[in-house]
A and B are shown apart, each in its own frame.
Chain A
Amino acid sequence: MKFEEPTSDNLFDRAMVIGKATPRIDGPLKVSGQAPYAYERHDVVEDQLVGYPLGATIGRGRITAMDTEAARNAPGVAAVVTTLDIDPLEISSFNNARLFGGNEVRHYHQAIAVVVAETLEQARHAAEMIDVTYEEEEGNFDLEKAWQNGLGTDEADAETGNVDEAFASAEVTLDETYRTPDQSHAMMEPHSSIADWSDGENMTVWTSSQMIAWARKSLAETFDIDEDRIRVESPFVGGGFGAKLFLRSDAVLAALGSRAAQRPVKLTLPRPFIFNNATHRSATIQRIRLAAGQDGRLTAIEHEAAAHEFEGGGNEENPTNLTKLFYAGANRRVKHHDVVLDLPESSSMRAPGEASGLMAFEIAMDEMAEKLGMDPVEFRILNDTQVDPMNPDVPFSDRNFVDCLKVGAERFGWSDRNRKPGDTRDGLWMVGHGMAGAYRGAPTLTSGARVRLERGHLTVETDMTDIGTGSYTILAQTGAEMLGLPLEQVTVKLGDSRFPASSGSGGQFGAASSTAGVYAACVALREEIARRLETDDVRFEDGNVIAGNKAIPLEEISADAEITAEDTMEFGDFQDDLEIGTFAAHFVEVGVHAATAEVRVRRMLAVCDAGRILNPVTARSQVIGGMTMALGAALSEQLAVDKPRGYFVNHDLAGYEVAVHADVPDQEVIFLDTLDPAISPLKAKGVGELGICGVAAAIANATYNATGIRVRDYPITLDKMLDRLPETF
């Protein structure tokens, strides 16, 4: 099925199941420990061995020798495969850093060996016995230096109007530079796989992946084998945030270990290994210039940024992307420098580009509002746009950003905020209020599904994944809505390469795309049922198919034999002529300790515009998760680069500080009652990445409001404010 034009009213508008607050249908499995996560799938294949990785301990260079004798002779060891034992594996079209093979070391903790043994303890101990000799090479690990050299060079990526003239003649201007650090996904479940490639022919991988079809293709390319010989399963994923979009070394090492030991091998990346072995969000440096008239209307916007990437590319962290679209203004120039550094591979992390871009841009907007003497909410409302400002012929399909701002201001009590920076106290705490806007695109990807109706029970099969987002539940809701069934009569099976290929989970495209795929399959099933009833006028209600004045139970229709249907939703080119996006306004109250400058968030409010909310329970969970992640980004998360040695030093969860429960205050989420007919038949857009966008800047702005100290270098830690706090408190 092809989605060729914006949808008209349809059965989702009656919303019997879709849109209702529904607890996760897989919740009982999860809380009772029965949801099968990759590393614990002891029942899928017998005789599993355990693999343990060894990582390189230099940032760049080559391996001249590896002594594995002691490891091979260690108790319980079944196989040792080193990077010198095999030719360099192909770099798949989804990867940039090579995952294994050859003597070249391109980043710290690059996998250089896997040890396979009967137990984890034996494998881990034997891995430590491998003696590696390196020839170290000088590497380039310094983004700051590259920024200084690159600033102002190269052509603009996009430009309209006359930016220089607009700045020269502007009444009010801003020119500031902002920095965001390298960040880690730090999802709860580490990268984990069980691989069975015992015969060196057919490969089955039980893994933790956001994208089944990509994982399979990547494995085929990496090992140069036919895709048909590979099966991938990933029914449950304990968090991904982009870390599990692409094939990682866990699956590769497990497969190599399995082929060598001729038995299935399970392997999980140890936590301290993940930060440098796998991917991260690149640091960014961003210069933002704004120009406006005294009336508050933006006349010019310039955004120049740099982020680092692995040689070969792959970094999606372009902070200037949404600067093209978010606010009005006739003159605009954006430019992004992708700087090649010898650090581990930068790759997608929740809202790549938008997250870091808005961390900077929404501080700049706050600073500009202050220069103009305007309420930052009013300033944003004034500069709203309903069309792409660089291509005014392209409208937003459905943009309700102004409503987000107005509803948020009202609900938060914005009019009662602290107005003068540093003016409100609660004991030793300086209290501040801040807000920010958020914008994240709403892409869609082709998505397929198969549905089976048997004795009135519907089974949905698709290789879609549930990475904690609630896919199981919203796909069950979609099927139930389409067939007029209660939710209990729908089973959803996900994450298996034997099922039709879906969008997968990422880029906040999963919910919109995969529900549309299930919709398409259900339409095909309804047509098949209609065909059998020899009519084309059918309705599905209360477990019945209604043809004319006759109601036939679905149980009866599918009593003798299962009725199946399969289809794929493709999204038409008309979407390219529209800007389809999601929007939010965030409001935050913080306390800053007057003596120590510790920042603690006191309350948070998000108002979101993302079309139909398929399930308010799981959507809220997505948004508060994003807000929490952004809280960490604002106040504590930073991968510290050791510049002489070229690696992320704080590579464990004690050193890389994500927000903990005690950091997270009251969080409120309001979803506007909006619908976007241009996105899909369900009129629903994703929220998973919208939730992280803009939040950190709202915290930064609130911190400024509390203290009068503007920090433009994330995370906003106390050492950056201490010297500028009042002497007495």
Chain B
Amino acid sequence: MRPFTYERALDPVSAAARAAEVPGARFIAGGTNLIDLMKLEIETPDHLIDVNGTGLDEITVTEDGGLRIGALVSNTDLADHDVVRRDYPVLTRALVAGASGQLRNKATTGGNLLQRTRCPYFYDTAQPCNKRAQGSGCAALSPGAHSRQLGIIGVSDACIAQHPSDMAVALRVLDAVVETMTPAGDIRLIPLKDFHCLPGSTPEKESVLMDGEIITAVYLPPPVGGKQAYHKVRDRASYAFALVSVALIRHPDGSGRVALGGVAPKPWAMDEADAELPNGAKAVMAKLLEGARPTEENAFKIRLAERTLAAMLAGE
């Protein structure tokens, strides 16, 4: 861990302003990912701005009947919230499928969106990784490398890392919108589908956030109803990242929405794929995973995603 300086921010406006002003600054909330990465010197911020005192920890019902979730609401509190459990059950199910109880107590809504990949080559600073060290190469793409967990779609020649979040997959299927504040004090609303970047040739850039911009809340639209489910597939029953996860909202008329986790650098969903829901899982995945470019080790994820969705559709 590199030495760093530290301050507490008391409101989002000053947090964003300070972050833009101090070189090498990063926000810290729950710290469940950032601190681990700092210990390994994968993240090396010069300055930490602790945003836990900024008051962004409330869940409120919005005028249009949706929900505003403060960026600092813990994963535990969000999963346990009455309205979430009643009207957005896919979100509760995704949250409790992630991490462990202790981690969910500390992890925040904003931080969860920004957690970094679990690619084992990203985690070993001795190995080439374009995401960690731009231009150093991608160890995971070399023949004989270990890529079983990694992404199959939306990936590039520079990076095949996957986004590890469960929560974000549910937020994607719920069509959530991320609210931010810029260093100038302006509020920005970014649909979750546009929030994360694909790696292309710049895998180090993972979201559209500008320097200093801070997540202040996540909006959920008014409840869409339907049957909601989240199926996370993994080798052990708990405390493992998804090989594939599927978030599903399905209406009585057969229409609905699907989002995938564990397969791409961001929660993976597509309107054209949703339109295929009445035609079954194969049809959905044919659209959703069209152009997938898996490695030999993770090619099974295509079939797995298809079968998982099929089981969810059959399970109704």
- A residues sitting closer than 8 Å to B (CB atoms) are 57, 75, 121, 124-125, 128, 272, 428, 593-596, 598, 600, 632, 635-636, 640-645, 649-652, 654-655, 657, 659-663, 715, 717-719, 722-723, 725, 729
Contacts and interface: CB of A to CB of B under 8 A. Distances in A.
Contacts of A75: 3
Interface in B298-316: 300, 303-304, 307-308, 310-311, 314-315
B122 to A, nearest CB: 11
Given A428-B315, A642-B146, A644-B145, A596 B304 contact: yes
Contact of A596 (B41, B233, B240): B233
Given A125-B2, A649-B120, A660 B236 contact: yes
Interface of B: 1-3, 39-41, 118, 120-121, 123-124, 126-127, 139, 142-146, 148, 231, 233-241, 243, 300, 303-304, 307-308, 310-311, 314-315
11 contacts: A593-B311, A600-B237, A640-B120, A640-B146, A640-B148, A644-B142, A649-B124, A657-B235, A662-B237, A662-B239, A723-B303
A660 to B, nearest CB: 5
A660 B243 contact: no
Contact of B238 (A643, A660, A729): A660
Instruction: Give the one of B139, B146, B308 with max A CB within 10 A.
Output: B146
Nearest to A124: B1
B133 to A, nearest CB: 13
The prevalent SS among residues of B at the interface is: loop
Contact of B127 (A645, A655, A659, A725): A645
Contacts of B239: 660, 662
A635 B235 contact: yes
10 tightest Cβ-Cβ pairs between the two chains A and B: A57-B126, A595-B311, A643-B144, A662-B238, A662-B237, A719-B300, A640-B146, A649-B146, A636-B235, A595-B307
B236 A650 contact: no
Contacts of A722: 300, 303-304, 307
A593 B244 CA distance: 14
A717 B235 contact: yes
A449 B3 CA distance: 51
A223 B234 CA distance: 47
Nearest to A656: B120
Instruction: Give the one of B41, B144, B235, B310 with max A CB within 10 A.
Output: B235
A635 B236 contact: yes
Contacts of B148: 640, 719
B308 A596 contact: yes
B144 A642 contact: yes
Contacts of A729: 307, 310-311, 314
Contacts of B241: 654
A715 B235 contact: yes
A121 to B, nearest CB: 6
Contacts of A657: 235-236, 240
A601 to B, nearest CB: 9
Nearest to A132: B126
A124 B39 contact: yes
B237 A660 contact: yes
Contacts of A125: 1-3
A657 B234 CA distance: 10
Contacts of B126: 57
Contacts of A649: 120-121, 124, 145-146
Contacts of A128: 2, 41
A650 B120 contact: yes
Contacts of B311: 428, 593-596, 729
B146 A650 contact: yes
A650 B40 CA distance: 15
